[in-house]
Amino acid sequence: MRTEVRIVASAAALPEIHASGGLSARRTGPHTVHLIGTAATPLGGDELDITIVVGPGARLAVRSVAATIALPSAVTPDSLARWHFQVDSGGDLDFDPEPTIVAGGAHHHTITSVLLAPDARLRLRERVQIGRSGEDNGGWRGDLIADLGEIPLLRHRLELGAGTATDDPLAAPRALESELRYPDDRPVETTGLTETRLPLAAGGTLLTRTSSLLAVR
């Protein structure tokens, strides 16, 4: 299945939503949109393309009504989601959906591209859990590409779960939380070997936290 969603927020009107396939969205407030699954997706072989644009001076909060569950199909375990975010001058985007659960031995790949105006604001949070109860053989890869106008802000890739370079059945993490904030001038902060917040050269910070299970927050 191919899924396409486009959400456009403007300062003078309610968010505009266009959707087809297994994912849709609903306006749940003047500046809030919730993503809603309309069919089982992503299954193996599925592709999702989601574009979120916040126009000049607009603000938008994006949430989801439930976790996303990636499952294998009879043909392939692999699925792909492409997320495109654009926040224009003076815009403010707060993106914080429920986690993605990679279940049943599925392998899910997420490619996230972000284009920010220099005076835009962004909080972009992603949470991933490998497996439901008793499952740990799925895999996930996330590529994050963020630009501040024509200046590269971040190039980042993480892999989690079965088949990755750090996979260890005894001790490898199976859960991830990642949060990109811009602007943010907080300094480096680490908590043991599992949590790090790093400042970015062009501004903003990237928080990465790994564990065996996602914490309830």
| Tens-place pLDDT, residues 19-63 | 999 999 999 999 999 999 999 899 999 999 999 999 999 999 999
Over pLDDT 90: what percentage of the chain? 83
- Each residue of 140-164: pLDDT tens digit? 999 999 999 999 999 999 999 877 7
What local confidence, expressed as pLDDT, does residue 44 receive? 96
Q: Which residues of 106-138 are buried (b: 16+ CB within 10 A; e: fewer)?
A: bbbbbbbebbbbeebbbebbbbbbbbeeebebb
Amino acid at 172: A
- Each residue of 181-210: pLDDT tens digit? 999 999 999 998 889 999 999 999 999 998
Q: What counts of helices (H) and strands (E) characterise the chain?
A: 0, 18
Mean pLDDT of the chain: 93
| Residue 125 in tokens | 């949070």
Whole-number Å distance between alpha carbons of 13 and 157:
36
Q: Is the pLDDT of residue 171 over 90?
A: no
What local confidence, expressed as pLDDT, does residue 134 receive? 76
Q: Is the pLDDT of residue 136 over 80?
A: no
- Each residue of 105-131: pLDDT tens digit? 999 999 999 999 999 999 999 999 998
